[in-house]
């Protein structure tokens, strides 16, 4: 899932000790709610299959007694009451908009952003591995090391399989 809702982070004041004003703005775009409703319905459909039915606890999915899975309003209420962040926030200092391709902050000297906030767009999974990879690339640039060249197998093909529909399909 690639959420379309966008939050913001702003300085509260000129005092660097003041905490920033953070508004994650979760689920603000209707398409995000539609995706979440579909995910909720699909999850329940899977959990109601014979092999899993004995382990399915309907009460966990029903915070209100009159919960109706067919109702968008009930699903939205459940999603808003039950969803939480795993704090995998990213893209708040997006490459190209806030920093250059080496993590250098536009308009400031000797300041770099070397974390998930520099990602230009959301990943489809956990942020740890892509953040480490990006930080390694930035560190190589800081040290003056050349980037590694792409490696090919002896037959000229890539060493890993890549789904031709990777941009539109979930992994």
Residues 38 and 6 in one domain: yes
Q: Is residue 162 part of a domain?
A: no
For residue 9, the SS3 value is: strand
Choice among 84, 88, 102, 141 that is catalytic:
88
Q: State how beta strands 8-10 and 21-23 pair.
A: antiparallel
Task: Look at residue 163 in the predicted model and tell me its pLDDT.
Answer: 75
Domain stops at, among 55, 85, 115 = 85
pLDDT at 110: 93
Q: Are residues 92 and 81 in the same domain?
A: no
For 60-109, write each residue's pLDDT tens digit: 555 556 778 899 999 999 899 888 887 788 888 899 999 999 999 999 99
Q: Are residues 99 and 134 in the same domain?
A: yes
Both 29 and 107 in a single domain?
A: no
The reply to whether 101 and 27 lie within a common domain is no
Q: Above 90 in pLDDT, residue 15?
A: yes
Number of other residues whose CB lies within 10 A of the CB of residue 165: 7
Q: Average pLDDT for residues 37-42, to the nearest whole number?
A: 92
Assess whether 63 and 95 both reside in one domain.
no
The Cα-based distances of 121 to 24, 50, 90, 92 in angstroms read 15, 39, 8, 10
Q: Percent helix, strand and coil across the chain, each rounded to 5? A: 35, 10, 60
Assess whether 88 carries a catalytic annotation.
Answer: yes
In order of 13, 14, 21, 79, 114, the CA distances from 18 in angstroms are 7, 8, 9, 32, 22
Residue 96's region, left for phi above 0, alpha for psi from -120 to 50, else beta, is left
Q: Is residue 63 part of a domain?
A: yes
User: Which of the two residues, 151 and 85, has the higher pLDDT score?
Assistant: 85
For residue 158, give the 3-state DSSP assignment: strand
Count structural domains, the chain: 2
pTM for the model stands at 0.66
Select from 63, 85, 107 the last residue of a domain.
85
Domain holding 57, by residue range, is 1-85
Q: Is residue 154 part of a domain?
A: no
């Amino acid at each position: 899932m690639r959420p379309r809702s966008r939050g913001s982070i702003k300085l509260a004041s000129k005092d660097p000790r003041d905490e920033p004003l953070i508004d994650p703005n979760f689920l603000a775009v209707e398409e995000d709610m539609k995706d979440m409703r579909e995910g909720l319905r699909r999850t329940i459909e899977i959990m109601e299959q014979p092999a899993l039915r004995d382990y399915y606890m309907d009460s966990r999915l029903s915070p209100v007694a009159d919960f109706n899975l067919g109702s968008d309003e009930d699903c939205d209420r459940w999603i808003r009451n039950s969803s939480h962040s795993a704090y995998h926030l990213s893209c708040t200092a997006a490459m190209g908009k806030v920093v250059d391709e080496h993590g250098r902050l536009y308009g400031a000297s000797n300041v770099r952003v070397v974390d998930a906030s520099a990602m230009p767009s959301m990943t489809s999974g956990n942020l740890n591995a892509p953040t480490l990879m990006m930080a390694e690339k930035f560190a190589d640039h800081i040290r003056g090391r050349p980037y590694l060249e792409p490696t090919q197998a002896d037959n000229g093909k890539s060493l890993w399989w890549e789904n031709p529909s990777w941009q539109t399909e979930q992994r």
